[in-house]
Structure 1
């Protein structure tokens, strides 16, 4: 059974790249451009993994990770955080919030796939 991956990413090009790449590797993929819809969408889609952009309009990916960890129906879903704005201490804060993995953009295709496979097995 193919694994389901939800991508929370407001940048159209990144969303398309991640979606196409995962679909080519036989994952079922759903994209969410508006972080405010991510929790509701995750409950309906029931992904095996969430790929979370940290810099989102309206709500930060960090806040979403924390909110998902507090929600009993979502807390077991692993999250891979991906961000272009990696400052000192960001990785520590993101991992402390509950993310299972962390990548900084731009990310290589191989590193991205390795991170996804590393979390999903």
Structure 2
């Protein structure tokens, strides 16, 4: 599966990239909302793992703009913003799943596999 991981924290990006590659996925990284939208315009992804708190365009804005894409990937929101209102808003904007940081790696992999339809 091709996965776009969007987060501005290297301490999250690097381990996520390693974990997902080890699980057999192709991974592309984006550190801002703008980078994410550019990647989505240029390539097709099966899944986007998206943080809500990003510099510039936040994750909500990325979700909103991604809805209009002809090949919108499934979205797993992975964020430190774990409030119920944030979850509800992300799901209303089209996210298929929502996980709060900190997270267990096995839970994340289970969500990725679920979204992949496995």
Quickly name the TM-score band, shorter chain normalised: over 0.9
Mapped partners of 1:21, 1:88: distance in 2 = 27
2:64 counterpart residue number: 66
Match of 1:40 among 27, 30, 38: 38
Within 1, Cα distance between the matches of 2:86 and 2:32?
A: 22
Cα offset, 1:22, TM superposition: 0.2
| TM-score (norm. length: structure 1) | 0.91
Distance 2:8 2:71 in 1: 21
Q: 2:51 maps to which residue?
A: 53
Equivalent in the alignment of 2:19: 21
- Structure 1 position 4 matched with structure 2 position 2: yes
TM-score, scaled relative to structure 2: 0.94
User: 1:85 — aligned with what?
Assistant: 81
Answer yes or no: is 1:119 the counterpart of 2:99: no
How many Å separate the matches in 2 of 1:108 and 1:28? Answer: 21
- Which residue in 2 is equivalent to 1:97? 93
Moved over 3 A (4+): none
Deviates more, 1:18-27 or 1:40-49: 40-49
Tell me if structure 2 keeps the 8 A contact 1:43–1:74.
no
Structure 2's unaligned 5+ residue stretches are none
Per-residue deviation at 1:38?
1.0
Partner SS, residue 67 of structure 2: helix
Aligned residues: CA RMSD? 1.1
Structure 1 residue 43, shift from structure 2 partner: 2.5
SS at match of 2:84: coil
What is the CA–CA distance in structure 2 between the aligned matches of 1:34 and 1:53, rounded to whole Å?
9
* Count of residue pairs brought into register by the alignment: 117
